[in-house]
């Protein structure tokens, strides 16, 4: 998971997980109001997060929604080379914060 090519390229602003290629976004979005990493950390400029219901990845919104005119392949490349290994988040960590049904 996370190495297969992404076959689709939905419009910017529509969720597509750069890790697994799923279009199933979790029912939670996160906006950070304070820094959570050191200023020299790759995640420092990230302030909005999106969460994948399929694989549990927490990714920068700019990749999951392909801001700035990038396509799905470029979002995947940035995830794999810049953000994935340095992520401060464990898969599905956000499920603990969701209210029980």
Segment 3-61, tens digit of pLDDT: 555 557 889 999 999 999 999 999 999 999 988 899 999 999 999 999 999 999 999 99
Q: Is residue 26 part of a domain?
A: yes
Q: What range defines the domain where residue 54 resides?
A: 15-33+46-91
Q: Is residue 2 part of a domain?
A: no
What's residue 98's pLDDT? 56
Q: Are 55 and 22 in contact (CB under 8 A)?
A: yes
In sequence order, the 6+-apart residues with CB closer than 8 A to the CB of 12 are 65, 66, 67, 69
pTM: 0.85
Q: Is residue 62 part of a domain?
A: yes
Q: Is residue 27 part of a domain?
A: yes
Number of domain units in the chain: 1
Q: Is residue 100 part of a domain?
A: no
Q: Is residue 9 part of a domain?
A: no
Q: Is residue 4 part of a domain?
A: no
What's residue 2's pLDDT? 54
Give CA–CA dist 100/15, Å, rounded. Answer: 24
Tens-place pLDDT, residues 75-98: 999 999 999 999 999 999 887 755
Q: Is residue 99 part of a domain?
A: no
What's residue 9's pLDDT? 82
């Amino acid at each position: 998971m996370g190495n297969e090519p992404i076959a689709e390229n939905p419009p910017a602003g529509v969720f597509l997980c750069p890790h697994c290629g799923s279009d199933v976004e979790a029912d939670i979005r996160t906006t950070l109001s304070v820094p959570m990493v050191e200023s020299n950390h790759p995640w420092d400029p990230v302030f909005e997060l999106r969460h994948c219901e399929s694989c549990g990845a927490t990714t920068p919104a700019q990749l999951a929604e392909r801001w700035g005119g990038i396509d799905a392949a470029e979002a995947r490349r940035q995830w794999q080379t810049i953000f994935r290994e340095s992520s401060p988040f464990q898969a599905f960590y956000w499920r603990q914060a969701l209210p029980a049904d």
